Structure 1
């Protein structure tokens, strides 16, 4: 697996709170396999943190009156990710650490109208790993914008899920069309993490913080 420069793991919209899927009011179709994906997601986040690679969290949120939802209801999706709904919160067991960024967005792409680009510049990122969902919507649109911002994209294919299996597969093909090395699997990333170099910007920030506390 090829990476270049500093890397960042972006966790895209893994939401649902502690709500059982059958009880959720969010009107978005999902392909099956979530139960099998989540242990891989947890393990990848854990190992990424241990290796000193930044984790950035993305959460889609809309006001209850839907003033900020734009054209998102023109397609197959009903109201979703509403502020105050328990299922809008990040999934059970997934919580950002105090030093990690949680970026809330109003559109599908994590780059659109958010501070993500500022955060990635702070980390001097060049390669972005993407996990989460939906593969054919928020992951796809974020990957495309990352490509257009000249980042190298690595979508962890067994840690993302689409609105359907067909849409998931089609989105992965489209991402691969943009970057030939974009598709990787979790076991490849874990193997790479065994020898990955921690992000120096994180280490520099930690040293500065500790120095400031001792003055």
Structure 2
């Protein structure tokens, strides 16, 4: 049964929008779909709208130690070494980072696994904030976004994925993962414009002093 766009309190989850997304696969160990510049522009608009609406924002960054001790099984498939601390491409995108002055609304969480729930404080933060709906942007659609979505679903969160603001390792895998996420929650696939409109309504209510 399809649920409303936002149920209860929302959080914007920016999944691994790191500088390597604009770099060749042979330099950063992972292939990315084309169009990073368009996804970044949409992400910037969504982050700005979330801030205006008072929506909490979680910025994820995948980082691995140079020794490789925390890669686990990540290198058993198509990916080479990637997101290594101190290596080119590992840093967050310059315009998509938490505001240091908003430490009660914006969070930077480093993760070692694909899902944002594995080995992090993510769920503790969400429960503390009273969040019920997660809005996911970033990448990769078929890896970190998909697994974070699935783990959120199994923890009874409502999850939306902004289909024109996520990118996969390939177009085929991107589309397949979006279809799989929609299978789990009807109406999960949303567009940037739809989410901007929803955040705009929340911002109007906040300005009016109405409890969202």
TM-score scaled by structure 1? 0.88
1:62 aligns with 2:68: no
The Cα shift of 1:101 comes to: 1.0
> For residues 26 and 67 of structure 2, what CA distance do their matches in structure 1 show?
18
Deviation at 1:20, TM superposition (A): 5.7
C-alpha change, 1:187 and 1:21, in structure 2 (3 Å) is same
Q: How does 1:30-49 map to 2 (within 5 A)?
A: 30-49=32-51
The answer as to whether partners of 1:24 and 1:87 remain within 8 angstroms in 2 is: no
CA distance, structure 2, for counterparts of residue 14 and residue 123 of structure 1: 23
Task: Indicate yes or no: 2:123 matched with 1:117.
Answer: yes
* 1:86 to partner: Cα distance: 3.1
Which stretches of structure 1, 4 residues or more, deviate above 4 A after TM superposition? none
Q: For each residue in 1:90-131, what CA deviation from the matched residue of structure 2 results, as whole angstroms up to 9, or x when unmatched?
A: 012222112121111110000011100000011100000000
What's the counterpart of residue 188 of structure 1? 194
Is 1:3–2:9 an aligned residue pair? Answer: no
Kindly report the root-mean-square deviation, in angstroms, between the aligned alpha carbons of the 2 structures. 1.7
- Partner in structure 2 of residue 89 of structure 1: 91
Contact 1:6 1:124 (8 Å CA) reproduced? yes
- Residue of structure 1 in register with 2:135 after alignment: 129
Q: Which runs of 5+ in 2 are unaligned?
A: none
- Structure-2 separation of matches of 1:24 and 1:120: 36
